[in-house]
Amino acid sequence: EAEVAQSPRYKITEKSQAVAFWCDPISGHATLYWYRQILGQGPELLVQFQDESVVDDSQLPKDRFSAERLKGVDSTLKIQPAELGDSAMYLCASSLTDVVDTQYFGPGTRLTVL
């Protein structure tokens, strides 16, 4: 069964350092999402891509976060500089189209900022 791949699975960094997370969606999935899930909370959308274009990044803290999906396939989410409050699970999801009930989530990257 096809899955969304994410790496690394765990990342520990110090505040003010730069971190990057990678996501490889299910093959053929045009829509890709990055979510942040703080411990004890539900996921919150950071950015949504349709192919290589950003369609929603209204909740992305653009002063420190950036996301790209250059060839419309895999994607990278970067934080620079990391802050203590960025400690969370970063989830990537993909779907064939932008239909809400067809999102498949990856296992996530657990970020700890010290």
Partner 1 sequence: QKEVEQDPGPLSVPEGAIVSLNCTYSNSAFQYFMWYRQYSRKGPELLMYTYSSGNKEDGRFTAQVDKSSKYISLFIRDSQPSDSATYLCAMSLVRSGNTPLVFGKGTRLSVIA
Q: Which amino acid is at 30?
A: A
Question: 3-state class of 13 per DSSP?
Answer: strand
Q: Which of 29, 82, 108, 111 binds partner 1 (CB under 8 A)?
A: 108
Q: With binding defined as CB under 8 A, does residue 106 bind partner 1? A: yes
Sign of CA dihedral 67, 11, 92, 38: negative
Query: Can you read off the two tokens belonging to residue 10?
Result: 């765990």
Pairing of strands 31-37, 19-24: unpaired
Per-residue x/- marks for partner 1, 27-66, CB under 8 A? -------------xxxxxx--x------xx--x-------
Which tokens sit at 95? 């779907």
Part in contact with partner 1 (CB under 8 A); list of ranges 14-22, 65-73, 79-87, 96-104: 96-104
* Residues at the interface with partner 1 (CB under 8 A): 4, 40-45, 48, 55-56, 59, 91, 93, 97-101, 103-108, 110
